[in-house]
A and B are shown apart, each in its own frame.
Chain A
Amino acid sequence: MKRADIKVGVLRIEGTNSEEESARCFRRLGCQAELVHLKQLLGIDTWKGEERKLMDYHVLFFPGGFSAGDYVRAGAIFAARLKSGLGKELGEYVRSGRLVMGVCNGFQIITEAGLLPNLSGTMSELPEACLFTNDSAHYECRPVYLKHVNRGRNAFTRKIPENEMRVIQSAHGEGKFLVERKEESRILKDLEANDQLVFRYVDPKGNYAGYPWNPNGGPMNVAGVCNRDGNVFGMMPHPERVFYRHTHPDWTRTGLNVRGDDVGDGRAVFESAVEHLERKF
């Protein structure tokens, strides 16, 4: 399909707050992106012309923020509303091969909804993982180095060579990727074997390291994972905040031409998704 025909829905409810910059990233690449309130998909309090369907979109993007205040558990309330109102449609959407991405709170939401890490069916009944409180017990806003470890399954990072490092802004209080404690090492190994691990936190030399390079203390330094089909992807750090080099924390030192004219380290994530859709549909 043509780039200009790709439709991106950036989902919002009260408390989501990175929706505008997320939508802008897709628009900069020539796609159509619109901000959609969950109520427009559920048909609640809408006037004529405001209703939307999941299948209107080729990418569903869950942006960062504090949806519904994250008061119960990060992302849990948004996920519960999504699943109770649109569970069936969402399963069909994912099985159709269209794309779903969650960043930060969005990653928490799609994990709470059971879309990731996708150990069993497309969407598990109960969450299979959680993004737990950081080891520092508070919010951390800092740039992190991520190593791209995916071997090609993930549709969102195909433009990034394996083992390449990227600097992405990270900002979260609950980002420690945990799975069932008893099965932890087996599950993480399986994820690696299935090529579902996408990004891992490293130090500037590329070694797996502890705090502050791993801002939340998660085991195996997991920063982003995808599902088995590679069309659902979640990550804690924010690629939309480093679409351009001029929003990198160190551009005054490195200049703006590290990856081409003002190309930021997060841009490849959006480009990969768009190019995947251009090929596939």
Chain B
Amino acid sequence: MSRGLQSAVASRYVRARTPFPLYQIRLGDASDADLAAISKEMGIGLSVDEMKRVRDYFRGKKRDPTDAELEMLGQAWSEHCCYKSSKPILKRNVYGIAEDKIAFRGDAGGLEFDKDHYFIAKIESHNHPSAIEPYGGAATGVGGILRDVLCCGGQPLAYVDPLFFGPLDKPQASLPKGVKHPRYLFQGVVEGIRDYGNRIGIPTIAGQVYFHEGFTWNCLVNAGCIGILPKKNHVPNRAKAPGNVYIYAGGHTGRDGIHGVTFASAELHEGSEESSRPAVQVGDPITKEPLIHAVLECVEKRLVVGMKDFGGGGLSCVASELAHDGGLGAEVDLEKIPLKEAGLAPWEIWVSESQERMMLVVEPKSVKEVLHIFRKWDVTAVECGRVIKETVVRARYGGELVIELDLAFSTGGPVYDRPIALPAKTEEDPVEFPEPKDYGAALLALLGRWNVCSKEWIVRQYDHVVRANTVLQPFQGVIGSQSHGDASVLKPLETSFKGLAVTTDVNPSLCQVNPYWGAASAVDESIRNLAAVGARCRAITDNLNFGNPEDPLVMGQLQEATRGLAYVARELQIPFSSGNVSLYNDSPHGCRPRRRSSPSASSRTCARASRPTSRPPGTTCSSSARRRSASSAAASTCGCSGTPPARRCPASTPRSRAARPNAS
């Protein structure tokens, strides 16, 4: 790829004298306008202030950055990776609640299950990719969340998948240009989850599907995974000592999933299909399935000292974070990385988010055995780097040093305390419900609504009994007339009747009317779902999906929602074991549901939502993605054993960096 061909600042891209594509970017004397142009042309999404910080860093180093270095910083400092907008709010509101109940944090949080085991829970969004390419977006969302459980050394047990779309009967003609029909998105997402989840043999046991006008442009696809981990097998997500070897294992690296995180840290627009299609990764469950076995075999044999999965930012993030979190540095040989096609530039190898990849940190004496285990499973694995004492990350290609960054700089992304505005308090319209003349017809109309009707045909496409651990299934009752349960229960261990219950819930319309109580109700309802199957809530993993954080009203919603979450969690002393914030779930088109003439239960919320809110004129309407979903996992007894409810352990450690890359 040639840089600067049609550039406004062409002279700033200097082709290095290397046999492979590498550019020096002349930042030293760049003006603000030049910096903005470079960020835009390279697609790295850094603001002028951030670019200035980069420029000043390299001035200090008395050299210009390479394109690979700039690309890396673009990924590492994206909203998606470093939570620059949401971190202050999260810190203020949800960090530290019942923290002593958390056994460990990392890519996913773990709590004690019994004296020999932890359980792990994590939820994440994959919204932007799914809005562009629903099948691949959803499949890789499911694949990505599993790796977070796997990279702690845990056995994935089950999936939960809350999904949110626009109304399925929306006329095609009413869709703005560039927007895909909700029915296409919906079908693609369900098929993506089905084909990926079923193929890797992890049951999908809970979730929800919700339709609302506001999700028409930007559907929300959240995927959660729970797992079980023998305490002795816990692998930290960091390097242990200088001399440790990096082993790259799994799928090959290609041009799919380049700029995934910068794509997820901006609003969707008309041209997203065209410009961002390559940002969506391609999933391959039949590489993942043996990868799980091989990784767990290495863990079981005590061959792994640290591990992390390739998520957002790809190799650049995984190589840096493993080293940085261990207080160390790393050197990577980019030529060793297995490629899907020849000719990738070093920066592409460095930031590609191709799927199904894991990085293992092992001691030199274990390398041979680890590589043998992967070979047995026909999974590619190569030695690609080593841990060093100096706290820098270096990468070489063709004998040239193409990246050299201080880890304190590259991982110390910016944090913004963005302006927050709360909507002016308004009296809610009292809604009148005239008594229906014909109750039969009213009931049928209600049952026919998208949000009320049976979702059985979706859930039955997901295998919810593979692994033979599902004790309470998504459908319960007499066979042939089963209905949905409130939560599903697993029996994760062969030798114990202790169960693990999981559920997920939110009412997006409620969050739209009042983010505080909407969020609080999501936690409350999840906990009640668990109580309904006899479980005691032990942990919450939250997924916050909001609009553009540069809009103070969106920040206001995020602030209120997190306060609402914290209110319930603090009162009940239940910790957030992990979480995910997805911002920029927004587009130039907002939600404007019309007032309906025949009010029913859910047109009531529509009617409320349609009331003009006190948005300053000119701001984009962001009601589209105003919701959160609290998925809470709980260890509990399941009825069959009659053992007493799981002991509530007194609770906790500081919440680790919430920044967990994994596109969207």
A interface residues (Cβ-Cβ under 8 A, vs B):
14-15, 17-18, 20-21, 24, 37, 39, 45-47, 50, 64-66, 68-69, 71, 138-143, 145, 167, 169, 171, 173, 203-204, 238, 240-241, 243, 246-247, 249-253, 256, 262
In the bound complex, CA of A272 to CA of B516 (Å): 59
8 smallest CB-CB distances across A and B, nearest first, come from A17-B201, A21-B468, A69-B286, A14-B290, A241-B468, A66-B199, A246-B640, A171-B463
The interface size of chain B toward A, counting residues with CB under 8 Å, comes to: 41
Q: CB-CB < 8 A to A17: which residues of B?
A: 199-201, 289, 466
Residues of A contacting B473 with CB < 8 Å? 249
Shortest C-beta distance, A28 to chain B (Å), equals 9
Nearest chain-A residue to B289 (Cβ)?
A15
Given A24-B494, A39-B376, A45-B376, A252 and B476 touching (CB < 8 A)?
Answer: yes
A139: which of B194, B201, B478, B494 is its contact (CB, 8 Å)? Answer: B194
**Beyond A14-B289, A17-B200, A204-B480, is A246–B491 a contact (Cβ under 8 Å)?**
yes
Which of A14, A65, A203 neighbours the largest number of chain B CB atoms within 10 Å of its CB? A14
Given the known inter-chain contacts A14-B289, A15-B289, please indicate yes or no for A171 contacting B491, CB distance below 8 A.
Answer: no
Check if B286 sits within 8 Å of A238, measured CB to CB: no
CB-nearest residue of chain A relative to B376? A45
- Roughly how many angstroms separate A154 CA and B168 CA in the complex, as a whole number? 49
Contacts of A256 in B (CB 8 A): 640
Q: Is B91 an interface residue (CB 8 A)?
A: no
Tell me the smallest distance from the CB of A138 to a CB of chain B, in Å.
5
With contact pairs A69-B199, A142-B460 given, residues A64 and B376 touching in the complex (Cβ less than 8 Å): no
Partner of A45, one of B200, B375, B462: B375
Decide if A143 touches B479 in the complex (CB within 8 Å): yes
- Could you say which residues of chain B place their CB within 8 Å of the CB of A21? 467-469
Instruction: Report which residue of A203, A241, A246 has the largest number of chain B beta carbons within 10 angstroms of its beta carbon.
Output: A246
A24-B493 Cα distance, complex, nearest whole Å: 12
* Apart from A17-B466, A65-B201, A246-B471, 10 more pairs, CB < 8 Å: A50-B376, A65-B289, A66-B198, A140-B460, A167-B479, A171-B463, A246-B491, A246-B640, A249-B479, A252-B639
Residues in B lying within 8 Å of A, measured CB to CB: 194, 198-201, 285-287, 289-290, 372, 375-378, 459-473, 475-480, 482, 491, 494, 639-640
Tell me the bound Cα distance from A66 to B199 in angstroms: 6
* A247 in contact with B289 (CB, 8 Å): no
> Which residue of A is nearest B491, CB measured?
A246
Q: Which of B376, B465, B479, B480 contacts A241 (CB 8 A)?
A: B465
State in angstroms the CA–CA spacing of A71 and B199 once bound together: 11
Q: A14-B289, A15-B289, A249-B482 are in contact. Are A20 and B467 (CB under 8 A)?
A: yes
**Partner pick for B477 among A68, A171, A250, CB 8 A cutoff:** A250
A253 to B492, CA, bound (A): 22
Contacts of A138 in B (CB 8 A): 194, 461
B377→A247 contact, CB < 8 A: no
Q: Are B194 and A247 in contact, with the CB atoms below 8 A?
A: no
Q: Which residues of B contact A238 (CB under 8 A)?
A: 465, 468
Q: Which chain A residues lie closer than 8 Å to B289 at the CB level? A: 14-15, 17, 65-66
B190, closest chain A residue (CB): A138
Q: For A14, A141, A240, A253, which residue has the most chain B Cβ atoms within 10 angstroms?
A: A141
Partner of B377, one of A14, A20, A203: A14
**A169 and B465 in contact, given A14-B286, A69-B199 (Cβ under 8 angstroms):** yes
Other-chain residue from B199, B475, B477, B480 in contact with A15 (beta carbon distance below 8 A): B199
Cα–Cα, bound, A253→B476 (Å): 9
> Smallest Cβ distance from B497 to chain A, in angstroms?
8
Q: Which of B459, B460, B468, B640 has the most CB of A within 10 A?
A: B468
A46 contacts B466, C-beta separation under 8 Å: no
- Chain B interface SS verdict (over half): loop
A-B contact pairs, 12 of them (CB 8 A): A14-B286, A15-B285, A15-B289, A17-B200, A17-B466, A18-B201, A21-B469, A66-B201, A139-B194, A247-B469, A247-B491, A249-B475
A37–B376 CA distance with the chains assembled, in angstroms: 8
| A203 to chain B: closest residue by CB | B480
CA–CA, A268 and B135, complex, Å: 40
Determine how close the nearest CB of chain B comes to the CB of A88; give it in whole angstroms.
24
Q: Contacting B465 at CB < 8 Å: which of A68, A171, A251?
A: A171
Instruction: List the A side residues contacting B477 at CB < 8 Å.
Output: 250, 253
- Given known pairs A139-B198, A140-B460, A141-B464, the reply for A250 and B286 (CB within 8 Å) is no
Q: Which residue of A lies closest to B199 (CB)?
A: A66
State whether B460 touches A141 (Cβ < 8 A): yes
Residues in A neighbouring B286, C-beta threshold 8 A: 14-15, 66, 68-69, 71
CA distance A20 to B297 in the complex (A): 14
How many angstroms from the CA of A64 to the CA of B203 in the assembled complex?
A: 13
A59 to B28, CA, bound (A): 72
Q: Closest approach, in angstroms, between the C-beta of A1 and any C-beta of chain B?
A: 25
Q: Give A238 to B199 CA distance when docked, in angstroms.
A: 16
Hey, which chain A residues are within 8 Å of B285, CB to CB? 15, 66, 69
Residues of A within 8 A of B198 (CB): 66, 139, 171, 173
Alpha-carbon distance between A266 and B199 when the two chains are bound, in angstroms: 23
Chain B residues whose CB sits within 8 angstroms of the CB of A169 once the complex forms: 465
The closest CB in chain A to the CB of B191 belongs to: A138
Docked Cα-Cα span, A14 to B658, in Å, equals 33
B377 and A37 contacting across the interface, CB-CB below 8 Å? yes
Given the interface pairs A37-B376, A167-B479, the reply to whether A247 lies near B471 with Cβ below 8 Å is yes
For A203, the chain B residues whose CB sits under 8 A away are 480
With a cutoff of 8 Å between Cβ atoms, the chain B residues found around residue A173 in the complex are 198
Note all chain B residues with C-beta closer than 8 A to A68: 286
Cα–Cα distance between A18 and B467 once the two chains are bound (Å): 6
Contact in complex: B199, A253 (CB < 8 Å) = no
Contact of A247 among B290, B376, B468 (CB under 8 A): B468
Contact B462 A141 (CB under 8 A): yes
Per the bound structure, the CA–CA distance linking A138 and B469 in Å amounts to: 24
Residues of B contacting A14 with CB < 8 Å? 286-287, 289-290, 377-378
Residues of B near A250 (CB, < 8 A) are 476-479, 482
Contacts of B372 in A (CB 8 A): 45, 47
Query: Closest B-chain residue to A144, C-beta based?
Result: B479
Using Cβ atoms and an 8 Å threshold, which residues of chain B touch A247? 465, 468-471, 491
- List chain B residues, Cβ under 8 A from A143: 479
Interfacial chain A residues near B479, Cβ < 8 Å: 143, 145, 167, 204, 249-250
Tell me, in angstroms, the Cα distance from A173 to B195 when the chains sit together: 10
In whole angstroms, what is the CA distance A15 to B376 when docked?
Answer: 14
Please give me the residue from chain B that is nearest to A21 by CB atom.
B468
The residues of A that contact B471 with a CB separation of less than 8 Å are 246-247
Return the chain B residue nearest A66 by Cβ.
Answer: B199
- Chain A CB count within 10 A is highest, among B285, B463, B471, for B463
B364 to chain A, nearest CB (A): 19
A112–B508 alpha-carbon span in the complex (Å)? 48
A18 to B199, CA, bound (A): 11
A148 to chain B, nearest CB (A): 18
Shortest Cβ gap from B104 to chain A (Å): 25
Q: Closest Cβ of chain A: how far from B541's Cβ, in Å? A: 25
**Chain B contacts of A20 at CB under 8 A?**
467
> Which B residue sits closest to A20, measured CB to CB?
B467
> How far does the alpha carbon of A238 sit from the alpha carbon of B491 in the complex, in Å?
18
Complex alpha-carbon distance, A82 and B640, angstroms: 42
How far is the CB of A133 from the nearest CB of chain B, in Å? 14
Q: Select which of A37, A50, A141, A204 is within 8 A of B461 by beta carbon.
A: A141
From residue B163, how far is it (CB to closest CB) to chain A in Å? 17
CA distance A71 to B286 in the complex (A): 10
Contacts of B461 in A (CB 8 A): 138-141
A143-B376 Cα distance, complex, nearest whole Å: 36
Q: How far is the CB of B468 from chain A (nearest CB, A)?
A: 4
Distance in angstroms from A26 CB to nearest chain B CB is: 13
| Residue among A15, A17, A65, A262 facing the most chain B CB atoms (10 A cut-off) | A17
Who on chain A is nearest to B377 by CB? A14
The residue in A39, A68, A204, A247 that gathers the most chain B C-beta atoms within 10 A of its C-beta is A247
Q: Considering residues B198, B372, B467, B494, which has the most beta carbons from chain A within 10 angstroms of its beta carbon? A: B198
In contact, A249 and B476 (Cβ under 8 angstroms) = yes
